[in-house]
Chain A
Amino acid sequence: MKKLINDPQNVVAEALLGIEAAHPHLRVDHEHKIVYRGDGPRRGKVGIISGGGSGHEPLHGGFVGLGMLDAACAGEVFTSPVPDQMLAATKLVDGGAGVLHVVKNYTGDVMNFEMAAELAEAEGGAKVLSVITNDDVAVQDSTWTAGRRGVGVTVLLEKIAGAAAEQGRSLEQVADIARKVNADGRSMGVALTSCTVPAAGKPTFELGEDEMELGVGIHGEPGRRRLPLATAGEIAELLVEPILADLPFAGGDTVICFVNGLGGTPLIELYVMYHEVNRILNAHGVQVARSLVGPYITSLDMAGSSVTLLKVDDELLSLWDAPVNTPALRWGV
């Protein structure tokens, strides 16, 4: 597998050097692998940090900036960051109003963030609340599993909670908004190829030319079912119908519709997908108020797509529309 890298062991560190050079309004703590705002912390504003394994770019470092995250911790590829990183990030963004941790529901991420929050409390520093995203309908939600994965909703949540924090809302209020976004959002994804972790150098799983993996996450972990490759229209049905049935979304609901690329699928195909998704939503009477199309939460070089629907009201829409200025999302500024 060909990679545009220097040394597989240095991919994360060198990408952070690139982010620092390309985006002068951001700062990078290279020791702790944290991307943070150059204009923070702002006194009285709730700080929001997230983090996770690398390989999902622009998530999370690409969402640091005005109206979104205050800091993002980068782990090794597909590996949760460690508690020291989240603790350091929490201190960096603490403006005295508390810090929200946005955590995707993966065993490692949850444990490492939990330990960081315990350490912050033990040190008597910032008050920390955590919100866990778990929107992937491909995973059976059960007390007998690790629970649903946090995927596409994380992007929408970071934008909306970031806007709420920017308005000066309290830590509890920002956490409540974030929980509402997670509760009202659902996602599902499909892979057309596997992906290759730089240090591993070979694809994480084998997938034939005429096959697709339905219900994949964002770490190259296999999905729930392997199926013969289908058309975009058929794939859209396979993703959207389970999402609609799960919340459930009903005719008359208003949504933000997010068609995401997993890293290896070109935008032209994502727009083909968006057309199909939109057609299905129209048929169900679900009204799309806003859209987001592009690779925003990726799985390295995996070809494929995920669909996220978030049911919104006027308040969530106005927070979505609020100004944002990050490397990956920018409007209203």
Chain B
Amino acid sequence: MNDTVSTAALDEWMRTFARLVAENKEALTDLDAAIGDGDHGENMDRGMRAAVQALDDTRPSTASALFNKVGMTLISTVGGASGPLFGTLFLRIGAALGDTSEVSLSQLATALHAGLDGIVARGKAEAGDKTIYDALAPAVQALETAATDGAHTADALRAALAAAENGRDATTPMLARKGRASYLGERSVGHQDPGATSIALLIAAATPAPA
């Protein structure tokens, strides 16, 4: 496997994520209204719009500069739980990638794992709590497995997307144990987690169409 991801492609990943969030803004908000406070779509859209603006203004040339910019912008503009969590995710990804401009699949998998660790440290979520962890952790694992197997990046991302979407769907029957949804107890069961849904969009934004 020798296909790498350029900074330009990582930049495009963030812009595509922003577009997917904007397109799904109402759906994300509706999911949040069912078990939270109905602002997830609005907040993520505001944050990713600001992140794209920041990328336009600064044109970062390395992976670390790019993800630092996105992470800091989300922390400064989103608020709620999503701001610190998605912000921490991107800051940790940036720190793990460093000043590289070409990212290998194994580097990407390692960086996303660092991002996942950051989310756990900040939000203290565990598997099955009905949070973004439940979509991100399987996606990271799929990337790591693909990297170990020497898969092509495009195939690895498709596997990660399938894992993220399965993880997202698996949140529906879960009883929420973190965030505002946890106040609902049993009544949180039967609703898909909005944060996990955004994570699936994030992985989808990186994934090329089926070959």
Contact = CB atoms under 8 A, between A and B. Distances in A.
Interface of A: 53, 75-84, 106-108, 111-112, 114-115, 138-140, 144-146, 149, 197, 199-200, 204-205, 217, 219-222, 224
25 contacts: A53-B79, A75-B80, A76-B43, A77-B39, A80-B80, A82-B75, A82-B79, A83-B84, A84-B75, A106-B180, A107-B180, A111-B81, A111-B83, A112-B84, A115-B84, A145-B177, A145-B178, A145-B182, A200-B29, A200-B38, A204-B33, A220-B38, A221-B184, A224-B183, A224-B185
Contact of B76 (A75, A82, A139): A82
A200 B37 CA distance: 11
Contact of A145 (B38, B39, B122, B183): B183
B60 interface: no
**Best-surrounded residue of B36, B85, B122, B123 (most CB of chain A within 10 A):** B36
A149 B29 CA distance: 22
B82 to A, nearest CB: 7
Q: Is the interface of A mostly helix, strand, loop or mixed?
A: loop
Contact of A78 (B39, B82, B178, B187): B39
Given A79-B79, A112-B84, A200 B42 contact: yes
A108 B76 contact: no
A84 B183 contact: no
Interface string B27-51: 0010001011111001100100000
B78 interface: yes
B185 A199 contact: no
A84 B39 CA distance: 20
A49 to B, nearest CB: 16
A139 B183 contact: yes
Nearest to B186: A224
Given A115-B75, A145-B182, 11 more contacts: A75-B80, A79-B79, A83-B76, A84-B75, A107-B179, A107-B180, A111-B122, A111-B123, A217-B183, A219-B180, A221-B35
Closest 6 CB pairs of A and B: A108-B80, A108-B81, A145-B182, A111-B84, A219-B37, A79-B79
A207 to B, nearest CB: 13
B77 interface: yes
A148 to B, nearest CB: 9
B180 A221 contact: yes
A227 to B, nearest CB: 14
Contacts of A107: 81, 123, 178-180
Nearest to B178: A146
A146 B43 CA distance: 20
A84 B33 contact: no
**Best-surrounded residue of B43, B182, B183 (most CB of chain A within 10 A):** B183
Contact of B39 (A81, A144, A197): A197
B84 A221 contact: no
Interface string B117-150: 0000011000000000000000000000000000
Interface string B63-106: 00000000000011111111111000000000000000000000
B189 to A, nearest CB: 13
Contact of A146 (B29, B46, B79, B179): B179
B76 A205 contact: no
Contacts of A75: 79-80
A108 B82 contact: yes
A150 to B, nearest CB: 12
Nearest to B125: A107
Contact of B83 (A78, A82, A224): A82
A230 to B, nearest CB: 20
Contacts of B78: 79, 82
A35 B84 CA distance: 23
A146 B180 CA distance: 7
A163 to B, nearest CB: 30
